[in-house]
Structure 1
Amino acid sequence: MIKLAEFASSAAALSLADYCKNQQLDVSVVVHSAQKAELWCAPEHAEQVMAELERFLSDPDAQRYQAAAWDRAQVPASDLGSASLSGYWQQLWAQGGWFTHLVWLSALLVYGWQQLDPWSALAALQLQPQLGVSPQQGWRWFTPGWLHFSASHLIFNLIWVWYLLGPLELKLGRFVAISLSLIVLLLSNLLQFVVVDANFGGMSGLVYGLFGFYWICGWLKPSWGLQISHGLVGFMLIWLLIGFFDLLWISMANWAHLAGLVAGMLCAAVLVILSKALTVQR
């Protein structure tokens, strides 16, 4: 699926989508609020949907759109649940590229592995103290991010990964998403291992890295569309401080969080500088 347009009215986006679906065009709407929605479609239908979009913008109150909305409303009651669920998962899937999907699915599989055989999962994915800071750790410099020690820990991190990594991959591309994730995971795991020990896991370092990346991009390059609210920035920083002051009943990988945040901010700054340099050269 590709994003074709953003609407300042979710009702308008849904009205056009209803009409397109009646024309057998593969479209979906991602609703963020009553005042913000996105129209997505299958690549092979992009040209037809763009044509319909132009017609809609010239006359959004046309009878054909109202008729389509009415037709879509006449779904048999027995089909409502499955249709709604199918549409929800379709929209959810469209909010990220294959790398985001891979991160999500692999984290779920690793958590299942931990439930079946926790010791072998730890032996394979957790950093090994006896190897120290060396290349011999190999993949383990990255894989502690896939270890989660409760369902709530896993769900909390995956929600943020989907919310932040998915749009980033779609807007800046897969290469940026993969590179940023690997850099943040490496540095956050390295600092936590060096300062504390190897007994940690989870994608919180990556989440903080994504927060930091969005924060700087929203500040220095708002045209990229990667922005988070001041409230979320405040929450992120307060949560980081709470962890360092040890005010919670749970143990947190605070140095991984800090390293992830700084790494994400630095990656964003470097990317913005490079983009400006390339623009000047052109």
Structure 2
Amino acid sequence: MNGDKRTWEHTFAFIGAGNMASAFIFGLVDKGVCNPGDIIIHRRDASKNGIYLSKGYHICEDYVRTFSTSKFIFLAVKPAQLQAVLQQLASSGADFSDSVFVSVCAAVSCDLICRWLGCKVPVVRVMPSTPITVGLGTCAVSHNDLVPKKDFQLICRMFSAVAEVSVIPEDMQNAVISVNGSSPAYFYLFVKAMLSAAEQQGISSSAALPLILKTMEGSAEMIRRSACSIDELIRAVSSPGGTTLAALKVFYDCGFEKTVADAMKACTDRADEIAGALECS
């Protein structure tokens, strides 16, 4: 499908098929990007293999073979496991020069993947967000210089079928974890705090939660659709001397924006620490 001279048994191979990878695997087929038979999967836990087999996906216990017969190789294991996986591939003597590696492993650089593999290969890095499991995810995508333009465009189209995609420089991959990779937890925490506050005022969580969630959804859509800036949207809700300004004053007095910035920086700093430890391994 990419004009390669080499014949591939499978277009896409996945090592690791946890919740996020599974959402992507099923999403590719549901959106018509490929057929189940185009995908081969290796997972350590074989208990769910029957689900994939029943839908027409291919399963392989030997991930060296899984990878060596596939054009696009998705690395969906934990960063701590990736080194052993790639070093085993390196020791196999298989030729991966025509494959494209697609990594969703946080804090693992393209150069480090090549180093563990023992050769220079095309690598695409992706930072997804967990809401991809409900069809509302995001992916920040980067690549090294060895990825052919047509292959990168294909990867972006694939991810666009199941998520919102932004292309960023690779040196921003650790920082972007704080923007989309870890940020669902920020929103969960904010919802939890609002629920608790509502209950303290006598409003049941069963009554408050739908209101909070729909307000979050609507506010996001207002930002998406409106020609106004976010500051203008805030002012539009904030009548002089009114209730919204009273609430916002508490946020501002408590340093809400600085707290968010500090939290995001802590996230990025930790990603840099993990990356540094992996580089030294």
What TM-score do you get using the length of structure 1 for normalisation? 0.26
What TM-score do you get using the length of structure 2 for normalisation? 0.27
Query: Which has a greater percent of strand?
Result: 2
Query: Which has a greater percent of helix?
Result: 1
